[in-house]
Structure 1
Amino acid sequence: MQSTDASPPDATAAGLPLLYCDDDLLVVNKPPALAAHRSNLVGDDDDYLIDRLRRQVGGSLYLAHRLDRATSGALVVARSTAVATEIGRQLMDRSVEKAYLAVVRGWPDETGTIDHPLTGSSLKGAPKPAVTHWRRLARVELPIPMGRYPQQRYSLLEVQPQTGRYQQIRRHFAHISHHLVGDTTHGRGDHNRLFRIHWAMHRLLLHAWRVGFTHPVSGQRVAVSAPLDASWNRILDTFGWQSAIAGAAPKTDPHG
């Protein structure tokens, strides 16, 4: 099967950035702080990604998977329930590649796996299996005293969740005390404040960087990377991490 690393049909078009678009599905680069759809978890907002997309591209649209409101990056949206169902089946079969970028406190090992069951979005009921893998791309030590430490340490990780539980990445890294920077629910308020004060960072540093799946209609393998926004790039520039991102980016051949 052919691998496709596609560009949007019109990268300059106004509206949400489309990373891939055809007659069956599209992949959008979701901005942070925008809820994907109406939910009891996000309150009574009047602005949702799925509504913006319907106005932008027209027709019926269905979310093939979910991203937390605070998370940015690649989100797959189907143009039919059949395509959405097939993407969902691939997610259940774990044949969808999902890779995230995250900034965490501390210096975790170069590679690792968190195998820790989690409850669902209601935080009730029996926990279900949840597995997250990571690879450390870069780290930094900053001469900023806080608490009993004269320096603060942070790491840039590539994270690959094997399962898709509610806020899995955020909850898993909190579980091993490497909290995500900017996480106001499971994170550390002191480190979040440090990033706000020094770098005007008011968001969760978690980004759905890559998604890969088999196209439900054509059978081709679709691989899409979501560019980072200005706030992310500001942190990468400040910490000297741009080369780590460039080195970790996949080398794809659009012709398979």
Structure 2
Amino acid sequence: MIEEKNMSAAKNLEILFQDEHYVAINKPHGLLVHRSKIATNTDEFAVQQLRDQLGQHVHPAHRLDRKTSGVLLFALSKEALTAIRATFENEEMEKRYWSILRGYTEPEGLIDYPLTNDKGKNQEAQTAYTTLNQTEVEVPFGKHPTSRYSWVEARPKTGRMHQLRKHFAHIFHPIIGDRPHGCNKQNKLFLDRWQMGTMLLHAVALRFIHPITKTEISISAQPQSEFIRMIDVLKFDKNLLA
């Protein structure tokens, strides 16, 4: 199915965790976290939706790209926001992502490659990854009689903008559905053959020490239906979803 511009209007957001200080949702593909000057084709935003759903103000603690799904954390007060942002900034937040990439990746690796921010400044950036599963499907691509893909778990050690997208492109295993860092020919293949137009990147888990209660918090989110459909279509091992 082609990604819908508004996937959120029909039902409430899925709440994964909530206490008096924080709330986490499973953000759908295609939903912006908040209003943006570069996205004027929607009036649906996670901040406003969650505020209306809970009946109180919420403050995003971090960001996920519009086409990335998964765990998105909000603070319920400005004090809680300041506390949790320190956790992110001090790199004390364990983040795990699932993604489907072009080609066969190494069993595991560390991508240590500086990235340039929107102000032109170089920033160090590191992403560790583990290959969960690989598949080869009988779909010709270019000079190859088949197509190969990897399902990986990524653990970014830093939090730079588009870090995973840029890092996997850097090692020549771009994320399927990514624009502009991905492979346009692969993206067209997925759109033409399987009517799949979203980016196959999912924030599967966050783990951290609650900055107020000092307890360990572990939050996980099942992938959205389109990610699961592609796991099935590409014949990955679906048992890994459990």
Q: 2:15 matched to which residue of 1?
A: 18
Q: 2:231 matched to which residue of 1?
A: 236
Distance (Å, rounded) in 1 between the aligned partners of 2:148 and 2:208: 35
How do 1:18-167 residues align onto structure 2 when only pairs under 5 Å count?
Answer: 18-43=15-40, 45-120=42-117, 122=118, 124-167=119-162
Distance (Å, rounded) in 2 between the aligned partners of 1:110 and 1:41: 37
Q: Which stretch has the larger CA shift, 105-114 or 86-95?
A: 86-95
User: How far has the Cα of 1:133 moved from its partner?
Assistant: 0.7
Distance (Å, rounded) in 2 between the aligned partners of 1:17 and 1:185: 29
Identical pairs, percent: 37
Distance (Å, rounded) in 2 between the aligned partners of 1:149 and 1:240: 20
TM-score of the superposition, structure 2-length normalised?
0.91
2:102–2:174 CA contact under 8 A, matched in 1: yes
Aligned length: 231
Q: Which stretch has the larger CA shift, 89-98 or 157-166?
A: 89-98
3-state SS of 1:174 partner: helix
User: How far has the Cα of 1:44 moved from its partner?
Assistant: 6.0
Q: 1:207 matched to which residue of 2?
A: 202
Distance (Å, rounded) in 2 between the aligned partners of 1:225 and 1:164: 19
Q: 1:173 matched to which residue of 2?
A: 168
Q: 1:11 matched to which residue of 2?
A: none
Letter of the 1:182 partner, please give it. G
TM-score of the superposition, structure 1-length normalised?
0.86
3-state SS of 2:122 partner: coil
Distance (Å, rounded) in 1 between the aligned partners of 2:41 and 2:106: 41
User: How far has the Cα of 1:39 moved from its partner?
Assistant: 2.5
The unaligned stretches of length 5 or more in structure 1 are 1-13, 247-256
User: How far has the Cα of 1:216 moved from its partner?
Assistant: 2.3
Letter of the 2:214 partner, please give it. G
Distance (Å, rounded) in 2 between the aligned partners of 1:83 and 1:180: 33
3-state SS of 1:171 partner: helix
The unaligned stretches of length 5 or more in structure 2 are 1-10
